[in-house]
Amino acid sequence: MRKNLVLVGGGHAHMMTLESISRFIEKGIKVTVIGPSFYHYYSGMGPGMLGGTYTPSDIRFETKKVVQKQGGVFVKDKVVRVDPDKKEVHTGTGHAFSYDVLSFNAGSYVPMHKSHKESDNIYSVKPIEKLMEAADKLKALFAEKKIIVSIVGGGPSSAEVAGNVWQLARKVNRHMPGIYIFAGVKFMARFPESVRTRVILCLRKRGIQIFETGYVKNILPDEICLESGETFSTDFIFMALGVKPSPIFEESGLPVGPDKGLLVNKYLQSVKYPEIFGGGDCIYFKDQPLDKVGVYAVRENPVLLHNLMASLEGGSLDVFDPGPEYLLIFNVGGSHGVLKKKGLVFGGRLAFMIKDHIDRKFMKKFQAFEKVL
């Protein structure tokens, strides 16, 4: 009987598998990819798209085309539940798909209150598609009047969004906004002081205000209220409070880690269900908890590809090695970046140029594959 491979999500960790769908098809394996969009956007270039450095087409992969041209099946839908006993995934539209082997690259999301989701001026920094919509709205507002843009959250996403909102306003060249970051009690707290100070200096030079006087208690479309009772008027809000793995796993009764991500072993395989694999932000790597950064998803690519094929064919699995400390570069807008690699830390145009080169090279590699299909 023909075996079924189901991929949930077309993100960074599935790139090599998507590129190799024809190999599975040639072996008589049916491949179904389920994703919420025909495209996958590279999150590492998302802030640059917000700031106008990149166009949407610069930072996306055409997932549907890549799948279908190789003989796979693409389903535009959202997986909401897994039945591991029946080996079925269930989607938001009520459809069920059977699998022999299942792999998740379902990403992460920014938690938001229902009322915030319904507001037309409150945006989360994920999914990346939301940044496109936000950029269009901000350009219209910058052309019309001076506004205040608030970013709620104290991590690197806040820094990158703030810097690129400033860049976007410079491009519009009409009314420069006030830009506020509400960072809780310490901005960029988990990073070395050498990184923090460079990011803060760059943002403050542009007039961006960073508040480290307490956590946000309440958010209204036109007001930010801190736990201290202090309130700030605002016109536009970005939510950058950190990401959480997809809720699919906990709701399906699958073993999860402390962050509710799919708990996987050294083979990127569910600790309870050996036919289920995963990579990227949606997993919790049992042997060594990993930062939610794209570099690990990229490093997981060859291991996932090998292990999915091996699992379907009864072969031996490869072990995932997270590898050495990764290169970290923040795009803080205005063609400036802050780079950290081990003990080396510096900021400026060179840091951004290095990031831009790496990101464009990564995108061109997979976008080139789209063109040859």
Arithmetic mean of pLDDT, 46-64: 95
Structure tokens at 225: 């209220």
Residues 311-353: tens digit of each pLDDT: 999 999 999 999 998 999 999 999 999 999 999 999 999 999 9
- Residue located via tokens 């831009």: 356
Predicted pLDDT of residue 242: 77
Rounded to 5 degrees, what are φ and ψ at 347?
-130, 165
Residues 153-173: tens digit of each pLDDT: 999 999 999 999 999 999 999
Alpha helices in the chain (DSSP H): 15-19, 21-26, 46-51, 63-69, 114-117, 129-144, 156-172, 193-205, 248-251, 294-313, 349-372
Residue 138 pLDDT exceeds 80: yes
**Among candidate residues 93, 102, 62, 29, the one with its CA nearest the CA of residue 268:** 102
Residue 221, preceding peptide bond in cis (omega within 30° of 0): no
Residue 115 pLDDT exceeds 80: no
- Residue 297: band (very low, low, confident or very high) from pLDDT cuts 50, 70, 90: very high
Q: What is the CATH number of domain 114-241?
A: 3.50.50.60
Predicted pLDDT of residue 365: 86
Arithmetic mean of pLDDT, 53-72: 94
Predicted pLDDT of residue 152: 96
Predicted pLDDT of residue 114: 67
Residue 367's SS3 state is helix
**DSSP class of 296:** H
Extents of the domains making up the chain: 4-36+77-109+243-325, 114-241
Q: What is the pTM of this model?
A: 0.93
Residue 113 pLDDT exceeds 80: no
Are 4-36+77-109+243-325 and 114-241 in the same CATH fold? Answer: yes
Q: Would you tell me which CATH number, out of the four given (3.40.1160.10, 3.50.50.60, 3.20.20.390, 3.30.1130.10), belongs to the domain 4-36+77-109+243-325?
A: 3.50.50.60
